[in-house]
Amino acid sequence: MRKLTLSIAAATIATAGLAGAAYAAPGMMTKGGDQTRAQATAKADAMFAKMDANGDGKIDQSDRTARKAKMFDRIDTDKNGSISREEFAAAGKQKRALDGEVRGERRGKHSDRMGKRGHRGGGMAMMKMADTNKDGAISKAEFQTAALKRFDATDANKDGTVTATERKAARDAMKAKWQQMRAQKQAQKPAAPATN
């Protein structure tokens, strides 16, 4: 039976899970209903604790390494130190099933949330912005500041509560900004040479 190496398997699967987690951190919006600033703070604290895998009070490369190791251990069901094609396929099937359930829940209950693809694209950029002192690590204070900055920007009427309507307006504005940036990027690309 052919085995996949730790680095290939862990990197492939961990990349998918890690990006979603990264986006969720600064976003912290509740699924559907209104959210107060205090609720956003509590949610940011819980997300920070989850992402600080080694409990050292900051999110950095060591936490990403720890999460990858946990993921590898979860996929390596026979605990032999390598991941077989069967284990890899089973993990992929389990992830697709979970993704399907989450998408179904979003469709049914929370249709105003961004799709999975949107979470990944903005996540890493948001995490970099959270690292205000550019030391390669995000402290709890930096994490919470980024979360509340996003909350405050979404709270259009500044009443301390973000509603579904405000969330949708913020999402629509961000989508328009991304489309504008994409269009500008396309316009800057050189034209393909004509072929005869």
Question: pTM of the prediction?
Answer: 0.59
pLDDT digits (tens, 9 = 90+) for 94-131: 888 777 765 555 555 444 444 444 444 455 667 778 88
Which sign, positive or negative, has the C-alpha torsion 107, 111, 117, 119? Answer: negative
pLDDT tens figures, 45-57 = 999 999 898 889 9
pLDDT at residue 104, rounded to an integer: 59
Q: Please, what is the average pLDDT of the chain?
A: 77
Q: Could you tell me which residue, 62 or 110, shows the higher pLDDT?
A: 62
C-alpha–C-alpha distance, residues 50 and 34, integer Å: 23
pLDDT at 123: 58
Query: Which burial class, exposed, middle or buried, applies to 112 when counting CB atoms under 10 A from its CB (0-12, 13-18, 19+)?
Result: middle
Domain ranges of the chain: 3-154+161-184
User: What pLDDT sits at residue 42?
Assistant: 95
